[in-house]
Structure 1
């Protein structure tokens, strides 16, 4: 998977990399850069905005309904003042980081690239994580390894 992501990034491809297995998911690329990532194992942007209380459920549904067909949910959030540019960018980066962490641990999962497939969020200015190969390497370094046992501290007094 690492080589495939690097090739897609270096060639500046736009589309969706569907990753099979459990939990599976999708990495969306625009001009070779990851623009969004999703996996059933991680909450997406809408779920995070609603569960945190940042947006009311009916507001999210209205924004999503208006923007999803034109791949411009992000632009609708900004246009209507529901989120500022920096907040949207940071929230999208958090979603990408969480989903990519899960997806990139599935090194042997089947993957297929669908050229031109876009996410309903659309392109969000300010979301620049570098090339997928760079992100892949960083995530693989972050996979936890075995830890040495620690001494237990026991309280001895009142």
Structure 2
């Protein structure tokens, strides 16, 4: 459907279970997903913009669909900074929206987002980047369960040093918050948080959830969990050994 909409230079909203892509003349101009912090979170949590200033811009320019232009014209956010933040939010939300498991797709012609025009992106570039990000996560730690489960610190961490950026994530890992919750609290893109979570899981700093319901022909839950635990531990150990060897070379 996306290829067809691009070919016809469509304008409107492409809706999926996991998010929405907004098109203008066949290009992606914005994206939203419940799994990704919006541009408002990225700007306000970082301290770049006060929440009341954001709300003022939405109140003033939201009805005309020119919030982005209003932020720049009123001197609250430089144009280049807004573009960078907008692109970060767009690619972040598009990653989830274009997930292969995000359900049926619908398109509503003529729908525009209230942020207004900021930086249009070719749809093929958005789709290509979403695929690249999926592959990166798979290579980092091939256990997608960590992307949506509450982040739990490892009972017996490896003791390897954790960079400051990931220490901030670990500080919020209370066994209840998911990576998406933590991303919003930190004001970071959700995909970047998933990268950190998978790296922490690969390094043995956080737990990887284990499947407890066997598929037909699979071992019983206890045996399956034990086998998966051994596999996860072995992979984590090999990755730590590899990292140590690379650091010593």
TM-score by length of structure 2 reads 0.54
Q: Which has the higher helix share?
A: 2
Q: Which has the higher contact order (CA 8 A, sep 6+)?
A: 1
Task: Tell me the CA shift for residue 43 of structure 1.
Answer: 0.7
Give, in whole Å, the separation in 1 of the partners of 2:46 and 2:98: 26
Give, in whole Å, the separation in 1 of the partners of 2:61 and 2:125: 31
Where has structure 1 moved over 3 Å in runs of 4 or more?
A: 146-149
Give, in whole Å, the separation in 2 of the partners of 1:108 and 1:58: 34
Q: Which has the higher strand share?
A: 1
1:70 and 2:70 correspond: no
Task: Tell me the CA shift for residue 29 of structure 1.
Answer: 0.6
Match for residue 48 of structure 1?
42
| 2:85 corresponds to which of 88, 91, 100 | 91
Match for residue 187 of structure 2?
none
The alignment's C-alpha RMSD in Å is 1.9
Structure number with greater Rg is: 2
Give, in whole Å, the separation in 1 of the partners of 2:85 and 2:23: 17
Task: Tell me the CA shift for residue 105 of structure 1.
Answer: 1.5
1:59 and 2:53 correspond: yes
Tell me, which stretches of 5 or more residues in structure 2 are unaligned? 142-234
1:121 and 2:118 correspond: no
How many residues align? The count is 145
- After TM superposition, the structure 1 = structure 2 runs for residues 12-27 of structure 1, keeping only pairs within 5 Å, are 12-20=9-17, 24-27=18-21
Give, in whole Å, the separation in 2 of the partners of 1:151 and 1:63: 48
Task: Tell me the CA shift for residue 108 of structure 1.
Answer: 5.4
Match for residue 239 of structure 2?
150
8 Å Cα contact 2:66/2:117 also seen in 1: yes
